[in-house]
Amino acid sequence: MVDNHFGEPTARMSQFRDELLDAKPQVDVERAVITTEVYRENADQPLALKRALMLKRVLEEMTIFIEPETLIAGNQASSNRSAPIFPEYAMSWVIDELDKFDQRDGDRFYISEENKQKLRDIAPFWEHNTLLDRGLAAFPPHSKLFYDLGIIKSEGNITSGDAHCAVDYGAVLRLGLKDFQRRAAEKLEELDLTDYRNIHKSHFYRAVIIVVDAMRAFAARYAALAREEAAKADELGDVPRAHELRDMAAALDRVPFEPARTLREAVQSTWLVHLALQIESNGHSLSYGRMDQYLWPFYEADLEAGRIAEPEACELMGNLWLKTYTINKIRSWSHTQFSAGSPLYQNVTVGGQRLVDGKAVDATNPMSWLILKSVAQCHLTQPNLTVRYHKGLPDDFMAECIEVVRCGFGMPAFNDDEVIIPSFIERGVAHEDAYNYSAIGCVETAVPGKWGYRCTGMSFLNFPKALLIGMNDGVDPASGTRLLDHTGLLEDFTSFDDVMACWDKTVREMCRQCVIIDATCDMVLEEDTADVLCSALTDDCIERGLNMKEGGAHYDFISDLQVGIANLADSLAAMKRVVFEDHAVTPAELRDALEANWAGEKNQRIRRLMLDAPKYGNDDDYVDGLIRAAYDCYIDEMKKYHNTRYGRGPIGGTYYAGTSSISANVPQGAGTLATPDGRCAGEALAEGCSPSHGADRLGPTAVFKSVAKLPTDQITGGVLLNQKMVPQVLAKAENRVKLAQLTRAFFDQLHGYHVQYNVVSRDVLRDAQAHPEKHRDLIVRVAGYSAFFNVLSRATQDDIIERTEQTL
């Protein structure tokens, strides 16, 4: 299961892991039923108070349990790996797909007939009364065409919560939730309620007080249960377990309301807060932030006092990762295809730098090492582990990271301080905050506890499909729907300059439509949902009396996501070379070949010419310069726009680019006709900013050089690069050293933003398709996250199998 460099998890954690892997994902209805009751009973309450009362009731009434193996308490649903339904966001797709959950091609869920009926019983209350309903109704008619046709996809924004953030866990551990409640109460007392704006703020402050009380009561429920379980352990003569349970109860008596004093209390506090945030809203990419920084003081004090030893601490951290994996989320099937593998993207960040007296120093510490080891031992898809790289990262720590990579579960990912920190500072982020950034979700980054929702993950824009529409005079060739004013016809183009002029006009209008769709989603989210606990734990929401959607966060930058970057690059290069330089194919002949999906002898000849043109990923300035120019058009246009929080308090309120397309390349490829790069209709697009399958023929160094030519300093939303290697390559110690050196060169010399490695062979993947029962533990890197291979749809599996295998 795990490379023996890190050893095995303890016996009970191994047993716990096996139980989680064996658990069938169920659909849990408890939260849905309770939420419906609260919304029905409190329909007249202000939004913030209604949301606070909802969370309070759920935490009071939901099923709780303590697993026999665990050292920390807290569960999201009535059983582990079950996924709650969040009816306030969307119910129509739940009812439509109720009988199909267990028949999916991937990401299957199971639900009893009794629970199906419970959902059907509450469904009438939510008819025309959900975020999805209001979002679809609110879209401007023309913009909705882009959404309906799948050109700009944003379903996840109106069917679930936001997240894509990390709250200030460090402050929770230092001060306890009581300090957040105290501040809210003081601000409430100070309000001049003759100003109507302060009446609105009073609702938020009252809501914060309610949710903190609810969290204290939630912890007390587990404390009481732990004491009950301890009594049972006493009766069975299991003295060690009884002692553990009483220690657990004692911790829960304090945290998260009071400050943590020990590592065990700190981990328990962090987990219970993290868990409650997942229960409050089903937004994904809720991340732990720089955990090695805020947990190290507790670990250090425990080591010095002799309260804990390294093996005990490792087991405790492993327990946290197992509990993290218990959280699950069910999406509609159409949304699932964009997030294959039921990912939650719960990122934990280690390494990087910190400021000491204004000077940057390496921030790695023993907790950084402990997190690496415990994550490797658990060998799971959660948490999503990221290492912040910088030139001063110690060689031994870098070597340990490569050992984790060698374990073959797609972690850790590497983000580059030398690109990200200056990019943040340039956008107005304070130096001390920029140096404290963490990874959020996949490859996106933000400052924990100070950043608004969705530092990335708004709309997905299909670049290749945009090109096809542009070259069809603004008409979608798949549906015949006119979307843009006249942009020109491919057959009328007389030079490649015409192609680029068409692209420029097209992508700028597509970018504008993305902003309209984003703003609509954010508008209805602000009107319909308010995540009180999450906002309370994010500066400056309490100070301003505003939740995150209203402009409460200190910083608020977001990005849209661009899909099919490599396909656009290869399409532009193929047209420039074959059509307008070599004149081997006329524009009209290329149009006919695309419409025919390359069918026929003549069109196949044309396709071979297009496939033989220069390809992105081979350090070829011819094609790399074209994608840089094309991307610059998008970035230049995006700079003109603001999000809905602009001017309402946060620093920023603007957009930047991002390439974290998760698994959107598969469904967006399925809806895209043949493209000039030689790709056939329906085939998956390239993921992230990685080259198209098989196009990168000159090894990883050439790939790194191509990717580095992108405007990475402007793609602050993340530059996702996946590289795939066979395990045999890293079996040799000298190759592990080479990979560390190659990674350093990518960051130090080329100023790369991000890279992650899939260490798995094509033969193993194909065998796993044929014999899934033999590969229960097989984990692959899908995009900016990892997933168990067996739960993925066949299309996503095929996409991963076909990725280029690199050698060193």
Q: How far is CA 517 from CA 338, 461, 467, 522, 545, in A?
A: 18, 11, 20, 9, 27
Q: Can you tell me whether residue 685 is helix, strand or coil?
A: coil
Q: Is the dihedral of CA 343, 314, 291, 532 positive or negative?
A: positive
Q: Which of 457, 456, 458, 516 is nearest to 483 (CA)?
A: 516
Question: What's phi and psi for 558, nearest 5 deg?
Answer: -135, 165
Q: Which of 525, 514, 513 is nearest to 551 (CA)?
A: 525
Tell me which H or E stretch contains 55.
Answer: helix 47-61
Lowest mean pLDDT among 140-154, 653-667, 683-697: 653-667
The token pair at 80 is 């582990």
The token pair at 83 is 């996924």
Query: Would 297 be classed as within a structural domain?
Result: no
Query: Would 753 be classed as within a structural domain?
Result: no
What residues contact residue 495 under an 8 Å CB cut-off, 6+ apart? 580
Query: Would 374 be classed as within a structural domain?
Result: no
What share of the chain in percent tops pLDDT 70?
100
Cα 171 to chain center, whole Å? 23
- Which domain range does residue 652 map to? 460-720
Query: What does pTM read for this prediction?
Result: 0.96
What residues contact residue 59 under an 8 Å CB cut-off, 6+ apart? 214, 215, 217, 218, 221, 276, 279
The token pair at 604 is 């196949």
Cα gap 339→419, rounded to integer Å: 27
pLDDT: is 294 or 161 the higher one?
Answer: 294
245: alpha, beta or left, given left = phi > 0 and alpha = psi -120 to 50? alpha
- Only one residue has tokens 């070829």, namely 620
Q: Can you tell me whether residue 27 is helix, strand or coil?
A: strand
> Side chain identity at 379, as an amino acid letter?
H
Cα gap 673→479, rounded to integer Å: 11
CB atoms within 10 A of CB 417: 22
Query: Would 683 be classed as within a structural domain?
Result: yes
- Provide mean pLDDT across the span 755-763: 91
Query: Would 589 be classed as within a structural domain?
Result: yes
Q: What is the DSSP string of 556-614?
A: EEEE-EEE-HHHHHHHHHHIIIIIIIS-SS-HHHHHHHHHTTT-SHHHHHHHHHHHTS-
pLDDT of res. 662? 76
Instruction: Give the model confidence (pLDDT) of 607-632 as tens digits.
Output: 999 999 999 999 999 999 999 999 99
Asked if residues 238 and 230 have their Cβ atoms less than 8 Å apart, the reply is no
Cα gap 488→470, rounded to integer Å: 7
Long-range contacts of 116-122 (CB under 8 A, 24+ apart): 118/29, 118/32, 118/33, 119/29, 119/32, 119/85, 119/91, 119/94, 119/95, 120/95, 122/32, 122/33, 122/36, 122/87, 122/91
- Only one residue has tokens 């008409």, namely 475
What residues contact residue 70 under an 8 Å CB cut-off, 6+ apart? 16, 319, 322, 323
Find the helix packing angle between 310-326 and 291-305, rounded to 10°: 140
Chain mean pLDDT for the chain: 95
What residues contact residue 493 under an 8 Å CB cut-off, 6+ apart? 471, 499, 502, 580, 587
Largest CA distance in the chain: 87
Query: Would 327 be classed as within a structural domain?
Result: no
Cα gap 112→115, rounded to integer Å: 5
Instruction: Give the model confidence (pLDDT) of 500-512 as tens digits.
Output: 999 999 999 999 9
Cα gap 26→67, rounded to integer Å: 18
Instruction: Give the model confidence (pLDDT) of 156-165 as tens digits.
Output: 899 999 889 9
- Only one residue has tokens 């795939």, namely 724
Asked if residues 49 and 42 have their Cβ atoms less than 8 Å apart, the reply is yes
Q: What is the DSSP string of 163-228?
A: --B---HHHHHHH-HHHHHHHHHHHHHH--TTSHHHHHHHHHHHHHHHHHHHHHHHHHHHHHHHHH
For the chain, what is the domain count? 1
Lowest mean pLDDT among 60-69, 308-317, 789-798: 789-798
Asked if residues 59 and 217 have their Cβ atoms less than 8 Å apart, the reply is yes
- Provide mean pLDDT across the span 780-802: 88
Cα 166 to chain center, whole Å? 12
Instruction: Give the model confidence (pLDDT) of 144-194 as tens digits.
Output: 999 999 899 888 899 999 889 999 999 999 999 999 999 999 999 999 999
600: alpha, beta or left, given left = phi > 0 and alpha = psi -120 to 50? left
pLDDT of res. 4? 66
pLDDT of res. 2? 42
| Residue 802: pLDDT band with limits 50, 70, 90 | confident
Cα 314 to chain center, whole Å? 26
pLDDT of res. 280? 97
Instruction: Give the model confidence (pLDDT) of 61-98 as tens digits.
Output: 999 999 999 999 999 999 999 999 999 999 999 999 99
Query: Would 730 be classed as within a structural domain?
Result: no
What residues contact residue 256 under an 8 Å CB cut-off, 6+ apart? 172, 176, 177, 215, 219, 268, 269, 272, 273
The token pair at 758 is 């899939």
Q: Can you tell me whether residue 26 is helix, strand or coil?
A: strand
pLDDT at 1 exceeding the cut of 60: no
Instruction: Give the model confidence (pLDDT) of 343-358 as tens digits.
Output: 899 999 999 999 999 9
Cα gap 645→643, rounded to integer Å: 6
Query: Would 681 be classed as within a structural domain?
Result: yes
- Only one residue has tokens 């970018």, namely 511
Lowest mean pLDDT among 257-271, 575-589, 659-673: 659-673
Lowest mean pLDDT among 102-116, 338-352, 656-670: 656-670
pLDDT at 453 exceeding the cut of 70: yes
